[in-house]
Amino acid sequence: MPITKDQKIKTLAVIGAGEGGMPILERARALNYVHTLVFGMADSMARHLADEFVELDIHDIDRIVEACRERNVDGVMASSEATTEITAIVANRLGLPGNDVSRGFAARNKYVMRTRLIGLKTVMQPNFILFKEGDDYDYPVVVKAVDSCGKRGIKLAYGKEDMPDALAYARQYSSSGQVLIEEYIAGGSEYSVECLAGNGLHEVIQITDKENNGPPYFIETAHHQPAVLTPAMRAKVEEAACDIMKVLGINYGMAHMELKIVDGNIYFIEVGARGGGGHISDLLVPNSTDFDYYKAAIDCCLGLYEHKDVHHVANTGIYFHCHKNECLKPLFDQAKTANWCISCQANTDEFPKVTNSLDRTNAGHIAYRSDHKITLDDI
């Protein structure tokens, strides 16, 4: 893409250079108006994609801010869930586009999220409370690490006898040790909403149907785009998602929001101020739409974003190579030679049981692009 005479090179600081940074940096490399300044550790897997790499602890905010000032950085972008709050603080200190930190960052702590959304009329929430020794609950309840991601530290407690194990599991993944207790909303269907914010705009790019292995861990086993929703329900989801972003101060960049619809009611689960994992953002959205999601997110963080219509161009989806999908073995076997397959990374013949998204990712997947949802009927 040639640079116009009115366009100058913009320096984008990317916080973190792990796996989540790879699609950001790969896209930025193809944008010849973007120079990337990347902060991370010496063994960061995406460091080779940086235009300039600074070996620095990503939690050392003062030194990151100093380095950004020295280089007249134009924007700051998070590479993962772990760097979203740091990125917002850095952007705020530099006076650059970033998510709101004026009342405390609200897009990582699940208790803070829920507290901020009390009273929002476009979405419902389960009852929730922080765990306190001696309290009793109306079981079953969902026990959550207060600031984890990737379904780590989340487990259903069917009764009081399950609480010690559920609490111990949640605390493994809670940076503060705090644990959130939520009412269990049974039934319905789960969705994620792939969002974007920038220059005063809050937009929904795609909605994803999600399958999971149910309680006690609720690990996602498949994603499909676009979600099968009536036009009226899709409009309600889009309105709710934009309201949630505004209330939580997600004003720049990507957001990955999880919702549940039960009997026509939309329940908020959680949100991250970053792209969706499980190859939602880097594989499914680019194949189901004509929208350049990562370029748009980069432009948002540089203050350059302008609205572009999103058009659905295909059905896409991903099946993870896990125990719940063992019945899909014929589909996995066919994927290697199927014209619908866009990614095949099934690591073993055995379909392992998984308890978090890292286990699921390590087990592999198949992904498709077609004019319909790929199922066993396509064998």
For position 2, what pLDDT does the model report? 46
Alpha carbon distance 171, 160 (integer Å): 17
**Nearest C-alpha neighbor of 74 from the set 8, 16, 29:** 8
What is the per-residue pLDDT for 290? Answer: 98
Classify 89 as helix, strand or coil.
Answer: helix
pLDDT tens digits, residue range 88-111?
999 999 999 999 999 999 999 999
pLDDT for the residue 8: 86
Give the number of other Cβ atoms within 10 Å of residue 346's Cβ: 19
The predicted structure's pLDDT at residue 356: 82
Spatial distance between the Cα atoms of 196 and 205, rounded to a whole number of angstroms? 7
Percent helix, strand and coil across the chain, each to the nearest 5: 30, 25, 40
- The residue assigned the tokens 């748009």 is 296
pLDDT per 10-residue tile (average), the chain, 379 residues: 62 96 97 97 96 97 98 97 97 98 95 97 98 94 93 94 97 94 97 98 98 93 98 98 98 98 98 95 98 98 97 98 95 95 88 86 93 96
Query: What is the DSSP secondary structure assignment for residue 312, as one 8-state letter?
Result: B
Question: pTM to 2 decimals?
Answer: 0.95
